[in-house]
Each structure stands twice: as structure tokens, then as C-alpha cells.
Amino acid sequence: MERIELTAAWAKGQEVLAEVTKESGVRASKCYQCGKCSAGCPVAFAMDKTPREIMRLVQLGLMDEALQSHTIWLCASCDTCSTRCPREVDIARVMETLRIIAKRKGSVAEKKMDLFHDLFLKSVENNGRVHELGLILGFNIYGMQPLKDAHFGPSMLLKGKLSPLPHTIKDNGEVKKIFANVRKRGGKL
């Protein structure tokens, strides 16, 4: 395993660390590495690093490694970690913030999951609401798996669970404005 030179890494990580602290409102130094977050995390089995290890990377300023991890994308935002943390560290919020920063930096370890969220928000921006059929179709086409879950389609349509056309709200101008205003304030959507 490669040896990490910690002082250089710390200096290099400062800028991103400051962003994480500011945007999440969480001081990573509060974490005492007990691992309760990872012990109860329902997605830990699929992660390349446990949530505790992500917190450790942040504590040491090893931000690139944190931002490149799959963990931050696999986090289901279920809040189990934050709920049980004995130091009241909002770990889920840190994961969320790291994801946002990773995306901003174009360092996306789970491209397909990211695509889903992009399409989701596109749908919200266009229609004011999510058009689930459009979202799934788009996701499958862009995700190069056009037939994924297709077998649900007919019965869903039949049960009235999927509408072929999006529900668009009348006041959608307002929602579009929300997106525009967030962009104006620096939001990268």
C-alpha cells in the first residue's frame, strides 16, 4: 500500500475541506471514529469505503480519495448513521455534500446514479413534477439498457400507475424560476 505523506495531503485538501464544512455545517473533527455509522449502514455491504472511513478521509484532508469513492453515491440518505451517531455528527449530510462537490468537480464515481438524478430534476424543471414514465424511459435509454424493467410497463399502464404523458402544472413558470434563481446563486444544476 502506498504511503501517504500527511502534511502535504492536509495542505492540498484544505480548500475542499472548507467547502465541505461550510456547506454541510458539520465539523468532521467531532467524529471519534467509533464506526456505529458503518455498523448500521444498510448499504455498507456494497461500499468501497465504510462511512466511517469517509469521515476519516475528511478528517485528514484526503479529499480526492473521499470524492472519488463510490460510497458517497451509494449512500441511500436513509439517515441511520446520523440518527445513531453518539457525537451527533450528521454523516448523511456529509455524504450528500461530498456528492454535490464531486459532481461540481466532475468527479462522479457512479455515473448512472448521477444520470438518474439529473433526469429526475430535468423532469421537475420541465413539468413542475416528475414524470415517472419519462424518467424511467430516459434513464434506460441514456443508461444504455433500454429494456430494463420494461416488463413492468404494460401492467403499470393498465393499473393506471404510469401516465403516458407528463403532468405539467399550470404554474410551472414558478418552478422554472426556482431553478433559475438557484442557478443565479451559484447552483450547478
Binding residues among 123-162 for another protein as defined by CB under 8 A = 123-124, 128-130, 132-133, 136, 139, 149, 152, 155-156, 159-162
Among 26, 31, 53, 69, binds another protein (CB under 8 A): 53
What CA–CA distances, in Å, run from 18 to 12, 13, 30, 132, 182? 11, 9, 15, 37, 21
Q: Nearest distance from residue 40's CB to another protein, in Å?
A: 3
Q: Nearest distance from residue 168's CB to another protein, in Å?
A: 10
Residue 51 burial (CB count, 10 A): 30
Quick one: which of 78, 65, 149 has its CA closest to 107? 65
Q: Nearest distance from residue 105's CB to another protein, in Å?
A: 14
- The three cell numbers of residue 72 are 458517497
Quick one: which of 81, 93, 28 has its CA closest to 56? 28
String of contacts with another protein for each residue 57-76, x by CB under 8 A: -----------------x-x
Among 60, 108, 109, 175, binds another protein (CB under 8 A): 175
Between residue 102 and residue 121, which ones bind another protein under the rule CB under 8 A? 103, 110, 112-113, 116-118, 120-121
Give per-residue burial for 115-147: e unless 16+ CB within 10 Å, then b: ebeebbebbbebbbebbbbbbbbbbeeeeeeee
- The three cell numbers of residue 8 are 502535504
**Per rule CB under 8 A, count of chain residues that contact another protein:** 80
Q: Which residues contact 40 (CB under 8 A, 6 or more apart)?
A: 80, 81, 84
Q: Nearest distance from residue 73's CB to another protein, in Å?
A: 9
Q: Nearest distance from residue 150's CB to another protein, in Å?
A: 12
Q: Nearest distance from residue 47's CB to another protein, in Å?
A: 9
Residues present in the chain in total: 189
Among 7, 106, 165, 185, binds another protein (CB under 8 A): 185
Residue with smaller CB distance to another protein, 65 or 110: 110
**What's phi and psi for 84, nearest 5 deg?**
-100, -5
